[in-house]
Amino acid sequence: MSTISVPIPHTLETFIEEMIHRGIASNKAEVVRQALVRFAEDQAVEAVLRGEQELRDGKVLRGDLRKLAKMLP
């Protein structure tokens, strides 16, 4: 596991300390790890929702995957 250093505004530091105080996490690193996991999950959900919207909008490629891949730049 690696360590990174990221400057954050006072408001986020206060938020992190509050999460520890409330027992949501045991230390600052755990708060940040939980936040990053949640962010990754949110991004995955957004990608699925975007794909579903594109499907509804008719933005769908149909056909042989190899032929479609050749059409891409």
Q: Is there a contact between 19 and 25 (Cβ–Cβ < 8 Å)?
A: yes
What is the per-residue pLDDT for 68? 77
Cα distances (angstroms) measured from residue 73 to each of 35, 63, 64, 69: 36, 17, 17, 9
Rounded CA separation 35/28 (Å): 11
pLDDT given for residue 11 in this prediction: 98
The pair of three-digit structure tokens given for residue 63, joined into one six-digit string? 């056909």
> For residues 50 and 2, what is the distance between their CA atoms, to the nearest angstrom?
32
- Chunked into runs of 10 residues, the chain (73 residues) has average pLDDT values of 95 98 97 97 95 89 80 79
Q: Could you state, in order of their start, the residue ranges of all structural domains in the chain?
A: 10-71
